[in-house]
Amino acid sequence: MANLPNRRSPHHRGIKRARKVKILATLGPASRDKETIAKLLKAGADAFRVNMSHGDHETHRETIANIRAVEKDLMRPVAVLCDLQGPKLRVGQFEGGKAFIRHGAHFTLDRNPEPGNDERVCLPHPELFGLLEKGQRLLIDDGKLRLVVLRAEPDAILCSAEVGGQISDRKGVNIPDAIVPVPALTEKDRRDLAFAVKEGADWIGLSFVQRPEDVAEARRLMGGHGALMAKIEKPAAVESLNEIIELSDGIMVARGDLGVELNPEEVPPIQKRIIEITRGHGKPVVVATQMLESMITSPSPTRAEVSDVANAVYDGADAVMLSAETAAGQWPVEAVTIMDRIASQVEGDSTYNARVHLAQTPPDATTADALSASCATIADTLPIEGIIVFTGSGGSARRVARERPAAPMLVLTPSQKTARRLALLWGAHTVSTRDIGSFEEMIAKGKRMALRHGFGAGGSRLVTLAGVPFGVPGSTNLLHVVTLTGNELDTPK
pLDDT, position 365: 82
pTM of the model: 0.91
Whether residue 332 has pLDDT greater than 80: yes
Average pLDDT for the chain: 92
Whether residue 2 has pLDDT greater than 80: no
251 vs 372, which has greater pLDDT? 251
- 474: pLDDT confidence band, cut at 50, 70 and 90? low
pLDDT, position 8: 36
Whether residue 166 has pLDDT greater than 50: yes
pLDDT, position 11: 40
Amino acid identity at 299: P
Whether residue 14 has pLDDT greater than 80: no
pLDDT tens readout for residues 26-43: 999 999 999 999 999 999
Best CATH choice for the domain 22-86+183-353 from the list 3.20.20.60, 3.40.50.720, 3.40.309.10, 3.30.465.10: 3.20.20.60
Is it true that domain 367-490 has CATH number 3.30.70.120?
Answer: no
When pLDDT is averaged across residues 387-397 and rounded to a whole number, the result is 93
pLDDT, position 10: 39
- 68: pLDDT confidence band, cut at 50, 70 and 90? very high
What residues are annotated to the active site? 49, 90, 231, 289
Q: pLDDT exceeding 90 applies to what percent of the chain?
A: 80
Euclidean distance between the first and final Cα of the chain, in Å?
29
Superfamily name and number for 95-174: PK beta-barrel domain-like (2.40.33.10)
Tell me the domain boundaries of the chain.
22-86+183-353, 95-174, 367-490
pLDDT, position 493: 54
pLDDT tens readout for residues 206-233: 999 999 999 999 999 999 999 999 999 9
pLDDT tens readout for residues 99-148: 999 999 999 999 999 999 999 999 999 989 988 999 999 999 989 999 99
